[in-house]
Amino acid sequence: MKEVEINLGSRAYKIIIGGGELERAGGQVAGLFGGSKALLVTNPIVGALFAERVTASLKQAGIEAVVAEIPDGEEYKTLQSAEMLYDRAFSAGLDRHCPVLALGGGVVGDLAGFVAATYMRGVPFVQLPTTLLAQVDSSVGGKVAVNHPRGKNIIGAFYQPALVLTDPVTLHTLDNGEILSGLAEVIKYGIISDSAFFDWLEANIERVLALESDAIIHVIERSCLNKARVVEDDETEQGNRAILNLGHTVGHAIEAIAGYGRYRHGEAVSIGTAVAARLAVELGVLQASEEIRIKNLLLRTGLPVDVPKDLATVDMVRSMYGDKKNFGGQINYVLPTGIGKAVVYKNMPEERIKLALDSLRL
């Protein structure tokens, strides 16, 4: 078992990584909260696989699980889904002491966290991430949100969980595409802040892809440690936390223009990372040899690096103006400046972005 602590003063919490954590969830939750009920949010696929383990553990700890399922998919991360969960919680008599538990991937975690942050002005929140993307990224750091037709994660808050319980056994139920989606975020940490981790990934990516236990636990722990350092320094993204959005300016534009569901989040971020590396080289802040290393690791992992030819450059750039990193109508863009270093480039010229996008057309 591994533990990573997120040090945020009175809102500090632990990420516990290890086999059997779902079966131990009840005891962990009972030890933190006084509520006699818990809202367990999941989707039909994850629920069929793992909900019984969690509900049985909660029951053993004297907590009644109120299970609420939302359909699987980014398109269901909406205010309408949140309203359904509010209704479920209110009908079941959940009070301010009853926690909301998120059992699933990023969609479930973001939506359940948004509901926890807003139901009765805030109730305790526990993450039980079941995808690699959620285990290394979205379950850590307190970003919760729902989507809007005009953009992804536009309606949301910063609301830290009280606990994150990560059981790597859940990864063995995922298809390969879900694993790759998470690895795009893993590689991101190496690029923005941890050159030694990037080196390790270059040497061990085959072991990671094979889900070798020690390799995957190392990946989860190291990724969480990297994110923890950034979040502790800048919890609400007023400064350096924005570097965690490497690849996301283009990535979110791809998801929005193509329609949520066509590309997995990690696939879109991978393409966005390749575009950011190309931009950085053209601006003279990244060596061409480092761009090659970044692209090669993404490709060896099985991730895309080419911009889809059917997504118009003008539409993608227009979508980027809705990015939350922007200020004063200008596009702010995260660029790698070396392996293990990144900056936020203020007021990125449109023409630079267009040239980089077109140079990586599929």
* pLDDT value of residue 321: 87
Whole-angstrom distance, CA of residue 156 vs CA of residue 146: 6
DSSP 121: G
The first and second tokens of residue 195, run together, are 């050159």
* Residue type for position 180: L
Whole-angstrom distance, CA of residue 289 vs CA of residue 287: 5
Residues making up the annotated binding site for NAD(+) are: 72-77, 106-110, 130-131, 143, 152, 170-173
Are residues 74 and 181 in contact, defined by beta-carbon separation less than 8 angstroms? no
Q: Which residues of the chain are under the pLDDT cut of 50?
A: none
Whole-angstrom distance, CA of residue 51 vs CA of residue 256: 31
Task: Give the 3-state secondary structure of residue 151.
Answer: strand
* pLDDT value of residue 326: 66
With CA atoms as reference, report the closest residue to 66 among 134, 17, 112, 13. Answer: 112
Task: Give the 3-state secondary structure of residue 204.
Answer: helix
Number of Cβ within 10 Å of residue 181's Cβ equals 26
Query: What's the pLDDT tens digit per position in 92-128?
Result: 999 999 999 999 999 999 999 999 999 999 999 999 9
* pLDDT value of residue 279: 97
Asked if the domains 2-173 and 176-360 are classified in one and the same CATH topology, the answer is no
Whole-angstrom distance, CA of residue 162 vs CA of residue 121: 16
Show Cβ contacts of residue 31 under 8 Å, excluding neighbours closer than 6 positions: none
Whole-angstrom distance, CA of residue 267 vs CA of residue 299: 11
* Residue type for position 183: L
Residues making up the annotated binding site are: 72-77, 106-110, 130-131, 143, 152, 170-173, 185, 248, 265
Whole-angstrom distance, CA of residue 200 vs CA of residue 172: 22
The pTM (predicted TM-score) of the whole model is: 0.93
User: Which runs of consecutive H residues, i.e. helices, occur in 238-336?
Assistant: 248-258, 265-282, 288-301, 313-320
* Helix 350-359 / helix 265-282 crossing angle, nearest 10 deg: 110
Domain positions in the chain: 2-173, 176-360
Whole-angstrom distance, CA of residue 185 vs CA of residue 137: 7
Residues making up the annotated binding site for Zn(2+) are: 185, 248, 265
* pLDDT value of residue 324: 67
Are residues 283 and 352 in contact, defined by beta-carbon separation less than 8 angstroms? yes
CATH code for the structural domain at 176-360: 1.20.1090.10
Q: Which residues are catalytic, by number?
A: 121, 143, 185, 227, 237, 241, 245, 248, 252, 265
Q: Given 3-state DSSP classes, what are the helix, strand and coil percentages for the chain, each rounded to the nearest 5?
A: 55, 20, 30
DSSP 361: B
Show Cβ contacts of residue 77 under 8 Å, excluding neighbours closer than 6 positions: 107, 110, 111, 145, 146, 147
CATH code for the structural domain at 2-173: 3.40.50.1970
Q: For the chain, give me the number of helices (H) and strands (E)?
A: 14, 11
